[in-house]
Amino acid sequence: MKKIICVAIILLTVILFHNTVNAIQYQLIDLGTIGDVRDINNNGQIVGDYDTESGEKHAFTYQNGVTTDLGSFNGNSTNLVRAVNDSGQIAGYSYTSINYQHSYEYSFLNENNSMTDIGTLGSKRTWATGINNSGSIVGGHTSANNYGGKIFIYKDGIMTDLGQCDSIGCSATDINNSGQIIGNIWVDYGKSHGFLYDSGQVIDLGYLDSSPNLSRARSINDTGQIVGYSGDNAFLYDNGQMIDLGTFGGFKSMANDINNNGQIVGSYSLLKEVNLPYKKTQVYSHAFFYDNGQMFDLANLGGISSVAVAINNNGQIVGYSTDSYNQKHAVLWNPINVVPEPISYILFVIGGTLLAGQSYIKRKKMA
């Protein structure tokens, strides 16, 4: 009986240790004041946009410590980026000289590294928001009279209008590698629902019971899992059900991205008491990482605000954090293992030693 108990204790220790080994910690890396980061691909390439000294808005890439300014689009001052795929193709939008808004594709696949105007479908405004590994780009555009919103997809050099979703308007936010598109439908003025566009069918994701007037879909992974927020709560939409992720002890939360491992990142907000002459409370936002039903608070630079924006399939997270002087910095959270694997061998040796010792004591008593 003692041997069985000993074996059970050892097995339990190994199981608990194995779970600890597989737990993830994150190393916070300050990328400096390079601008607002928007996305990270599976090669670790980060994209975003920043304000130049002349007051222009330029897109940039960041990789291996090097920031590259993508310049202006057709000589225009404002150039915003929204997504990057694993080939380094970037989707975003810019303004023309007469203040029309055009979507673009920036490709690193050719020698010129040039931006391409992907069209407007006759409207004054288009905005690209997502791109998958096939180079398909999605976003939204207004009608010819600059009213309402519709979905578009740009594929194989052709921009196609996917319609207005039988509502006041709609816009796409993301596309996965299976071609599933998500976005938001304005079902009434001031009311919007997240949607899934799959094989020509628009599926209303609905909303959480606590907020019937609002849900927003922000990201979809390759298994069709969707994240976003409904009212004040982050949600996960999986297998036809919207799951409330809660507010993690705060009063508001938002899920921004999900990778193919089902890991979710975003932020939640807290209201804390402060001793300032002009106010007694202060809103703090914290970046979070959510995995297997557990939420982990991500480290920050000591300021009152941090947000996790995107996560790749390797678990790398990008976002921003303010420092103690309330200056906004782009940050990268790199995953690291909590406990090194060699310790599992030590546990195995200890377990074997305990069993051998108990066997020796038993034989000695019998002698």
Give per-residue burial for 90-121: e unless 16+ CB within 10 Å, then b: bbbbbbbeeeebbbbbbbeeeeeeebeebbbb
Tell me which of 176 and 283 has the higher pLDDT.
176
- pLDDT band of residue 52 (cuts 50, 70, 90) is confident
User: pTM of the full predicted structure?
Assistant: 0.83
Report whether 150 contacts 138 (CB < 8 A).
no
* pLDDT attached to residue 295: 93
pLDDT category at 362 given cuts 50, 70, 90 is: low
SS (H, E, C) 172-214: EEEECCCCCEEEEEEEECCEEEEEEEECCEEEEEECCCCCCCE
Which residue is it, tokens 């799951």?
243
> According to the model, what pLDDT value does residue 94 have?
82
Q: DSSP letter for 298, please.
A: P
199-222: string of b/e by CB count within 10 Å (b at 16+)? eeebeebbbbeeeeebbbbbbbbe
* The pair of three-digit structure tokens given for residue 36, joined into one six-digit string: 């607002």
Closest CA to 243 of 222, 260, 264: 264
Q: What is the pLDDT of residue 15?
A: 44
Q: Are strands 264-273 and 302-311 parallel, antiparallel or unpaired?
A: unpaired
Most confident of 163-177, 207-221, 227-241: 227-241
pLDDT in tens, 220-246: 999 999 999 999 999 999 999 999 999
Residue 145 pLDDT > 70:
no
Mean pLDDT on 190-197: 90
Side-chain-side CA neighbours of residue 105 (13 Å): 28
CA nearest to 69, candidates 38, 89, 44, 48: 48
Give the pLDDT band of residue 21 (cuts 50, 70, 90): very low
User: What pLDDT score does 19 carry?
Assistant: 44
Query: What string of DSSP letters covers 32-78?
Result: ES--EEEEE-TT--EEEEEE-TTS-EEEEEEETTEEEE---BTTBSB
- Residue type for 185, please? I
Q: What is the identity of the amino acid at 14?
A: V
> What six digits make up the tokens of 196?
């899934």
Task: Name the one residue in this structure whose structure tokens are 């921009």.
Answer: 159
Averaging pLDDT over each range in 159-163, 168-172, 189-193, 299-303, which range is the top one? 299-303
The DSSP secondary-structure symbol of 258 reads E
For the chain, give the number of residues. 367
| CA dihedral (39, 246, 253, 282) positive or negative | negative
User: What radius of gyration, in Å, describes the C-alpha atoms of the chain?
Assistant: 25
Compute the CA torsion angle 243, 186, 123, 256 (nearest 10 deg). Answer: -30
Under DSSP, is residue 16 helix (H, G, I), strand (E, B) or coil?
Answer: helix
Cα end-to-end distance, the chain, whole Å: 19
Q: Per residue in 321-332, pLDDT tens?
A: 999 999 999 999
pLDDT band at 124 (very low <50, low <70, confident <90, very high): confident
Alpha-carbon distance of 23 to 335, in angstroms, equals 10
Q: What is the pLDDT confidence band of residue 266, given thresholds at 50, 70 and 90?
A: very high
Among 65, 64, 56, 59, residue whose Cα is nearest residue 84: 59
pLDDT of 59: 87
**Each residue's pLDDT tens digit, 88-115:** 999 988 876 555 666 766 554 444 567 7
Task: List pLDDT tens digits, range 32-41.
Answer: 998 999 999 9
Place of tokens 């997240």: 194
